[in-house]
Structure 1
Amino acid sequence: MGMDQKLRRAILLYEFKSRRSIREAVRNFNAAFGPGSVSKSTAGYWFRKFASGCESLEDSPRTGRPSSIDNQALKELVESDPTQTQDEMALKLGVSRQTICAHLKQLGKVKKLDKYEQSLEVTLFTLETTGLRGTPGLWILGRP
C-alpha cells in the first residue's frame, strides 16, 4: 500500500528545509521507505514549490469546469418519470446528453423497455454486500 501523499510531502519539506539537494532527498527517501517511493520529478516539483515560498502540503485547486450535476437530483428525476429520454433529462438539468449518460451509468441505471431501472448487477452486488442474498426464508419481490 502506498504512502499517504501528505506524509510524503512533509518528508520532502523536511529534506528541503535541511538544505539537501533533490538528488540527496530522493536517495534518503528511497533508502528509508524503499526503492521508487518518490521519484526525482516529484521531489523536484515539490522543491520548486517550497522554494517559491509555498509550504502548503495540500494539492493546488484543479482547473476546469466542476461537475454541474448532482447525482441525487438526477436519481430523483429518473424515479419521478423513468420513461423520459436522456435528451429530456439533459434539457431539464441544463447539461449535455453525454453527461446524463455518464451519470446514469454511475448510478447503475439502465434503460429497459423504454424506462430506466436499477441494473441487475448492481442489485445483486447490493444484496450480496448487505447479506440478504443467502438469508433463508427471505424472498425479494419486485425491483429494489
Structure 2
Amino acid sequence: MQQTTTKEEICQNWPSDIHIRHLMLCWYKRGVKATRASAEINEAYENGVSTRTIQRWFQRFQEGDFNLEDRPRSGRPQQIDDDKLVETNPRYTTSELAEILNCSRL
C-alpha cells in the first residue's frame, strides 16, 4: 500500500532558504554554471530554486558578498511580529488574522 504525504510533512522536510543558498555557494565555488546548478538542485528538490535566482546569487558572490542572509529591503519596515502573532494562537484562520490585522484576506 502506497503511503501518502501530507502538505505539512512536505513543508517540514523542504529545505530552508539558507540550505539552498549554501548549495548555491558550493556550486559557485566549484565553478559550475548557474544553469547546471539549477538543474542539480531542482533534481534533488523539485522546483527548489529558479535559474534566475541562482544567477542573482552567483552575481552577488562574484562581487565578493558571501553573506547568505537577505539584504535589507527598502520601504517601510514591518511593524507586526508575525511569529509572535501566530504563537499566541497557531489555529487562527485567515479570516481571524485579517480581522486582527485590519486587512483583506487576500
Q: When the two structures are superposed, what TM-score results if normalisation uses the length of structure 1?
A: 0.45
Structure 1 counterpart of 2:62, one-letter code:
A
Greater relative contact order structure (CA < 8 Å, 6+ sep): 2
How large is the Cα RMSD of the aligned pairs?
Answer: 2.3
- Match of residue 72 from structure 2: 61
Q: Unpaired segments of 5 or more residues in structure 2?
A: 1-10, 82-98
- Match of residue 24 from structure 2: 12
> Matches of 1:3 and 1:13 in 2, distance apart?
15
Partner SS state of residue 31, structure 1: helix
> Matches of 1:45 and 1:58 in 2, distance apart?
14
Q: Deviations over 1:27-69 (max 9, x none)?
A: 11112223x11111111111111111000000101211235x6
How many residues were matched structurally? 73
Partner SS state of residue 11, structure 1: helix
How far 1:70 moved relative to its partner? Answer: 7.8
Partner SS state of residue 24, structure 1: helix
> Do residues 25 (structure 1) and 37 (structure 2) align?
yes
Cα distance change on mapping 1:65 and 1:48 into 2, 3 Å:
same
> Matches of 1:25 and 1:70 in 2, distance apart?
36
Cα distance change on mapping 1:41 and 1:70 into 2, 3 Å:
closer
> Matches of 1:38 and 1:70 in 2, distance apart?
28
Partner SS state of residue 69, structure 2: coil
Which consecutive aligned stretches of 4+ in structure 1 deviate over 2 angstroms post-superposition? none
Greater gyration radius: 1
Q: Which has the higher strand share?
A: 1
> Matches of 2:42 and 2:100 in 1, distance apart?
41
